[in-house]
Amino acid sequence: AQSVTQPDIHITVSEGASLELRCNYSYGATPYLFWYVQSPGQGLQLLLKYFSGDTLVQGIKGFEAEFKRSQSSFNLRKPSVHWSDAAEYFCAVGAVEYGNKLVFGAGTILRVKS
């Protein structure tokens, strides 16, 4: 069965501090992976994506993520968090073999303290 785990429900970081949000997946096919961000009452915005190739991918708003096949992980990082980054972050996994449906993690709520 396909599953995505985001172990941290909430994370609080100080503005200017670095951030890492964890994502682990279990998938029976070659996956592609995404991170999405959702602000309260809003839709999902694509932050970054990994299909193949270079395992370190850059996204919008200064985010990056690293795909580690051996650890089945796709962790999201940002070197310096801004107050506007406070939102909920979702990791998602898909595969062509499964009709491109996305399986989402439960989300991590990021709080930024000034």
Partner 1 sequence: DTAVSQTPKYLVTQMGNDKSIKCEQNLGHDTMYWYKQDSKKFLKIMFSYNNKELIINETVPNRFSPKSPDKAHLNLHINSLELGDSAVYFCASSQAYGGRYEQYFGPGTRLTVT
In the complex, the residues that contact partner 1 under the rule CB under 8 A are 32, 34, 36, 38, 42-46, 49, 51, 88, 90, 92, 94, 96, 99-104, 106-107
Q: Which residues, 6+ apart, have CB-to-CB distance to 51 below 8 Å?
A: 32
Distance, in Å, from the CA atom of 34 to the CA atom of 105, rounded to the nearest integer, reads 11
CB nearer partner 1, residue 19 or residue 44? 44
Nearer to partner 1, 80 or 101 (CB): 101
65 vs 20: CA distance, rounded Å: 9
Q: Would you say 53 or 70 has its CB closer to partner 1?
A: 53
